[in-house]
Amino acid sequence: MFQATALNRRNARIETGMRVAYLGMTLMLIVPVLLVLGVLIDKGAPALSWEFLTEVPLKGMTEGGIFPALMGTVALVLVALLASVPVGVAAAIYLSEYAPNTWLTRLVNLAIINLAGVPSIVHALFGVGAFVMFFGFGTSILAASLTLAVMTLPVVIVSTRESLRAVPQEFREACWTLGATRWQTIWRIVLPNAISGILTGVILEVSRTVGETAPIMFTGAAFFLPFLPQSVFDQTMAMSLHLFVISTQVPDVPEALPYAVALALIAVVLVMNAASIAFRVVLRRRKKW
Amino acid sequence: MVAAVLAESVAGDAKIVVKKFSVHYGAYTALSGVNLAVARNEIFSIVGPANAGKTSFLRVLNRMDALTSGMRYEGTVRFDGHDIRKWRNLYALRRRIGVVFPLPVGLPLSVFDNVAMAPRLRGVRHRDELEEIVERCLRRAALWGEVKDRLTALGSLLSGGQQQRLTIARALSQDPELLLLDEFSIAIDPVTTMKIEDVLLELKKEMTIIMVTNLVQQARRISDRMAFFHKGRCVEVGETAAMFDGDVRDEQTLDYLRGRFG
Amino acid sequence: MRSTTQTQAPDARGVAWYLDKAMAYLVFGAGVSAILLIVGIFVFITKEGVGFVWDTVDLGQFFGSPAWRPTSDTPQYGALALIAGTASVTGLAMLIAVPFSLGAAIYIAEFAGGTQREALKILIELLAAIPSVVWGFIGLSVLNPLIIEWFDVPVGLGILNAGVILGLMAAPIMTTIAEDALRAVPDGYREAAEAMGATRWQVTWRVVLPGAKNGLTAAILLGVGRGFGETMAVLMASGHAVQLPDGVFDSVRALTATIAAELGETAVGSDHYQALFTLGILLFVVTFAINLTADLVVRGISNKD
């Protein structure tokens, strides 16, 4: 009796100890990053202003704002989305609605996993070899965006596939018995009920695309261009590369400037991610079946 | 081979003729040895205990096997004399066949759109015409009174019994030549069930009805002829009244019909 | 009442049928494009690098020599120092990230409840979203002075800096995947063990962890793959010196960082340019192998079930 109680007490102590240890490990991952974010805000926030966002960089990028980089990033992301979303959604439709359980389907899934795992700098090499040179787009927004599109394609495919699969199979069958074709069923029933999940995935993709640097370095992003690109065949500045450039390549940059760029970049990414998470939570509450 | 002879006897005016028919899921055989014919404008019911292969039979009639991985059938099924295996446009076939599932499935669309979907698929565009069809079908399915004020509500959020009747209304909206009912009354109260049975007797003038049911009394009340499926085989096919009077070849059939089953 | 016209065959194909067929081919094409892209990546980088592998470089020198001097009068292309750089940074990162992310995954999956779990998962997800160039900047301007101050070394950019940064970067992803693997262990196992009087950590240690072994291995492998292929953060935080490191404060240069730093300065088609694509082939093959292994390990679980 007494022994059993002692054992229980010992177990309870170990239990508590384990809980605290694991919580500690969790916090060790989170707290340092939060502290660093605090530093970024502390040093970068004073330099953030409306002018910072709307002015061009001045005096060898040691003064002025980030307007061309901001607009460049917007352009890169938009063109990348135009390329990757249609292909990614279509591929996800194939995998969720059509793909039979064969070696080819396995191969497609394997390709998607590997596409997501290829290092970003290798994507950059591919972009140079394929889009810049082979297809002759030169170093341009088009080449850089296509490189980004290839790189983030798995994000769209996987998130879309999952939201399509979440639509119950009975709905498809009910629709088929009415004489709807597979495509009519997808168009009228499956896609409308998966669209919010797909959008969540697209937002995630945007946040991923905004921060990418290596894939655009040699395919279309320029170190310094004090004006806006006129077409997709022009080069452009980008926020991510701008941060790299002013923090490593340019002498005599005032300390606050790169902090402000890093902060702006992080803000965009975190806001997009928070939006996609909020979107998901709202969706989970608003059930349609 | 009495079943085959029976099949021949109605073949002249048959809507459906099934010969040497079997259904398989991969290596598993769900149903085999089916030879039967269903006459135009009759109510044909299929009774039998669970796992008899009744639902598999219905699923082949509108070629859902083509959309179900691993599912296939052997033998021939003729619809109006055409072999449905050789049918080039299966969607056109399914458009002519209404189906009601045992578990109700309201599509996540408004009640109106649920019922208007099939007419829209066959090209009806005018609002007036759609409204007329929706109202007629919902009335026939004994649902109009309950939903007429909320046609914009989501069909998938109606109660189970309401979704069941919505499914019936949707099947009727196809204006089908053949109506397949798979235990349609499973989620509906007895009074409504009776109402719908009356509607079915009415609809018989316009279409052929094949009904899977585990309520033998329901089969007795409304069907002209019936088949007894058991353990993946079609045991017997005959006139409903005669079979209930004891005119059967297999004792199992009578045991089942009289409720004396294991 | 019947609106179908009986003049055409009852099974005639209409517009909807052909549209359906066309869309089926279209989405099939999109699905297969994933295969084409991964093959395309391999083909394009190999096309640029293969001439170098065949004609110019001695593979013994490539893998055996630490001398990477592509721009000297007698260029040398030894990748050993770069491989050592990648290996040391990734190794340190994994030493940090593996225990902590497994611990975090165990806490989130087995100990944290309801709201706390959701909050932690969201937080971890947000951390995973911080771009690598920002991590590089953090290494450069926040961690660098801290290392100099704490350890009294002249330069804070090196294996330690890059390893810590990379560890913090890889940890959220590993945590997420590991947590999924733990959640995939059926609750029935936990309940059965708890019914026999096991405490939570005993259940975790004896039932959940062995059950999730494959998923956890895959999480670690994917973390290694991620660290191995990371570019910007390593480029900015590792100090950029081509050398075989002696200690954690030494500066190193990773394979990825070398490509990022030098590709802009090379003439298209030159030996140096081709050498960088050869590094790309090496990166591609290794990450491909890692991802393939992770996939096979994960499939191992589903095969057993």
Q: Do A273 and C24 touch (CB under 8 A)?
A: no
Query: Both A149 and A207 in a single domain?
Result: yes
Selected for mutation to probe chain C from B63, B91, B173, B206 (highest C CB count within 10 Å) is B91
Q: Do B121 and A178 touch (CB under 8 A)?
A: yes
| Mean pLDDT on B191-206 | 90
- Judged against a pLDDT cut of 90, whether residue C264 lies above it is answered with no
Query: Both A38 and A171 in a single domain?
Result: no
CB atoms within 10 A of CB B197: 17
Contact C233, C166 (CB under 8 A): yes
Q: Do C17 and B91 touch (CB under 8 A)?
A: yes
Q: State the amino acid at position A118 in one-letter form.
A: V
Number of residues that make up chain C: 305
pLDDT of residue A244: 94
Query: Both A21 and A64 in a single domain?
Result: no
pLDDT of residue A64: 81
Q: Do A15 and C134 touch (CB under 8 A)?
A: no
Distance from CA of residue B224 to its chain's centroid?
14
Range of the domain at A262: 51-285
Provide DSSP, B146-162. HHTT-TTSBGGGS-HHH
Of chain C, the percentage scoring pLDDT greater than 90 comes to 55
Q: Which of A30, A47, A64 is the last residue of a domain?
A: A47
pLDDT of residue C304: 45
Q: Which residues of chain C have a CB within 8 Å of the CB of A98? A: 24, 27-28, 31
Min Cα distance A182 → chain B (Å) is 9
| Mean pLDDT on B205-215 | 93
Closest partner residue to C133 (CB to CB) among A33, A153, A244 is: A244
Task: Write out the two tokens for A75.
Answer: 């352009």
Query: Both A31 and A125 in a single domain?
Result: no
pLDDT of residue C7: 56
Min Cα distance C129 → chain A (Å) is 7
Query: Both A6 and A127 in a single domain?
Result: no
Query: Both A31 and A65 in a single domain?
Result: no
Confidence grade of residue C5 (pLDDT, cut at 50, 70, 90):
very low
pLDDT of residue C62: 87
CA distance A77 to B211: 56
- Judged against a pLDDT cut of 60, whether residue C49 lies above it is answered with yes
Query: Both A65 and A20 in a single domain?
Result: no
Q: State the amino acid at position B53 in one-letter form.
A: G
Tens-place pLDDT, residues C15-28: 899 999 999 999 99
pLDDT of residue C74: 85
pLDDT of residue C150: 94
Selected for mutation to probe chain B from A98, A102, A178, A188 (highest B CB count within 10 Å) is A178
pLDDT of residue C206: 86
Q: Highest-confidence range of A126-135, A218-227, B6-15, C205-214, by mean pLDDT?
A: A126-135
What number does CATH give the domain C68-304? Answer: 1.10.3720.10
Contact C246, C236 (CB under 8 A): no
Residue A172: in which H helix or E strand, if any?
Answer: helix A169-177
Distance from CA of residue C293 to its chain's centroid?
13
Q: What's the N-to-C CA distance of chain A in angstroms?
A: 54
Report the candidate in C89, C101, C85 with the shortest Cα–Cα distance to residue C220: C101
Tokens 């010992």 belong to A10
Query: Both A72 and A31 in a single domain?
Result: no
Confidence grade of residue B12 (pLDDT, cut at 50, 70, 90):
low
What is chain A's percent helix, strand, coil content, to nearest 5? 75, 0, 20
Burial of B157 (0-12, 13-18, 19+ CB in 10 A): middle
- Judged against a pLDDT cut of 60, whether residue A1 lies above it is answered with no
Query: Both A27 and A124 in a single domain?
Result: no
CA distance B97 to B199: 17
CA distance B259 to A175: 36
Query: Both A27 and A157 in a single domain?
Result: no
pLDDT of residue A187: 95
pLDDT of residue B1: 42
A93: Cβ–Cβ under 8 A, 6 or more apart, which residues?
A160, A164, A186, C27, C30
CA distance B166 to B183: 15
Which residue in A has a C-alpha nearest to residue C140's C-alpha?
A: A247
B92: Cβ–Cβ under 8 A, 6 or more apart, which residues?
A179, C10, C11, C12, C13, C14, C17
- Judged against a pLDDT cut of 60, whether residue B5 lies above it is answered with no
Query: Both A208 and A74 in a single domain?
Result: yes
Beta bridge mates, B22: B74
- Judged against a pLDDT cut of 50, whether residue B2 lies above it is answered with no
| Mean pLDDT on B121-130 | 92
**pLDDT mean across residues, chain B:** 89
Q: Do C12 and B89 touch (CB under 8 A)?
A: yes
Contact A97, C261 (CB under 8 A): no
CA distance C147 to C238: 13
Asked if B69 is an interface residue toward chain A (Cβ–Cβ < 8 A), one would say yes
- Judged against a pLDDT cut of 90, whether residue B11 lies above it is answered with no
Confidence grade of residue B235 (pLDDT, cut at 50, 70, 90):
very high
pTM reported for the whole predicted model: 0.90
Min Cα distance A218 → chain C (Å) is 7
Q: Where does B62-124 have alpha helices with state H?
A: 90-95, 111-121
pLDDT of residue B10: 55
Tens-place pLDDT, residues B48-99: 988 889 999 999 999 999 988 889 999 999 999 889 999 989 999 999 999 9
Min Cα distance C21 → chain B (Å) is 11
| Mean pLDDT on C240-260 | 90
C218: Cβ–Cβ under 8 A, 6 or more apart, which residues?
C177, C181, C294, C295, C297, C298
pLDDT of residue C1: 45
Please state, in angstroms and as integers, the Cα–Cα distance from residue A286 to each residue in A187, A193, B112, C280, following that order: 21, 12, 21, 47
pLDDT of residue C191: 86
| Mean pLDDT on A149-176 | 94
| Mean pLDDT on A49-72 | 86
- Judged against a pLDDT cut of 60, whether residue B262 lies above it is answered with no
- Judged against a pLDDT cut of 80, whether residue A283 lies above it is answered with no
pLDDT of residue C305: 41
pLDDT of residue A70: 92
CATH number at residue A204: 1.10.3720.10
| Number of domains forming the structure of chain A | 2
| Mean pLDDT on C248-277 | 91
- Judged against a pLDDT cut of 90, whether residue B258 lies above it is answered with no
| Mean pLDDT on B125-133 | 94
Tokens 């219905």 belong to B58
Query: Both A184 and A236 in a single domain?
Result: yes
